[in-house]
Amino acid sequence: MTTAVSTAAELTTFVNAKFSEVFTMPKAPKYIPPDSKIDFDKAKIASYKYDPEGNYYYTDDKACWQSNFGFNEAYDRLAVVGVIYYDTVRTKFTYGGKEWLIQIWKGQYGYYFVGGEVGVYTRPIGKKGTGYSCAAKEDWLKMEMTFLWDETKTGNYEPELTRPYTEYWWCTGFVVGFEADESLVTREQFRLISHITFKDTEMANAFCKAFEANGFKRVAKLNNNVKDTFVQVGPDVAFVWQSINQHII
């Protein structure tokens, strides 16, 4: 059972009692004074919005132009053209008469941002190629996400932003920062922790089977400092992602 919260700054994860015993979402600071002069309210083409309570930027997935284009692996190959260097993992599975793709990203986004994303995509069973459509409203999933950054490279991963628990097809969050170094194999200075509530346990099971095949380790209780692990209780799945990378260059 889930309960809504009043603000992102007061975010608390409410799930079934068993899940709350094995997972706690780390929270970013409630408020940091704005540190950027970029006015993204005017940059409508990018669909960015600013959250003053958490001092981060995000894409409004309910009303963004990107929803018209879906996603395919060619976008990942072309990312470096825009000075975008990230890790990504694609988890593909079949459920409810559709092929599903849950894709996650974390890294450097241009010269201004570091951050992360969780995207939900579907397509008809048997479709060829790497293209998927952005999930239709009936396929949006409830989720939340915290992006952490070891900015000093001392092993101290600080929560930089937390996206609130609600329905998304594309959960994003970015903070002002620069860590671009195309020589890095993985963006290990970034960590993404997310919780997704799937439609039912059957769907969560299908995702977890594919997630394990991608190299993530199932645990009985999630430790937010143990990378590339996940926990599942019924339809609820949470994971800590840091090192696994399927990026195509």
pLDDT in tens, 211-229: 999 999 999 999 999 999 9
pLDDT higher at 4 or 227: 227
pLDDT in tens, 197-208: 999 999 999 999
Q: 3-12, 37-46, 57-66, 203-212: which has the highest mean pLDDT?
A: 203-212
Please report the pLDDT score of residue 157 as a whole number: 96
Q: And the tokens for 227?
A: 């990378």
Is the pLDDT confidence value at 35 over 80?
A: no
Give the torsion through C-alpha atoms of 190, 37, 80, 130, to 10 deg.
Answer: 80
Q: And the tokens for 23?
A: 């997972």
d(CA 149, CA 152): 9
d(CA 225, CA 227): 6
Contacts of 233 (CB under 8 A, 6+ apart): 15, 16, 18, 19, 22
Please report the pLDDT score of residue 48 as a whole number: 78
Other Cβ atoms less than 10 A from the Cβ of 138: the count is 6
Q: Dihedral of CA 189/194/162/156: which sign? A: negative
Q: And the tokens for 193?
A: 């922790």
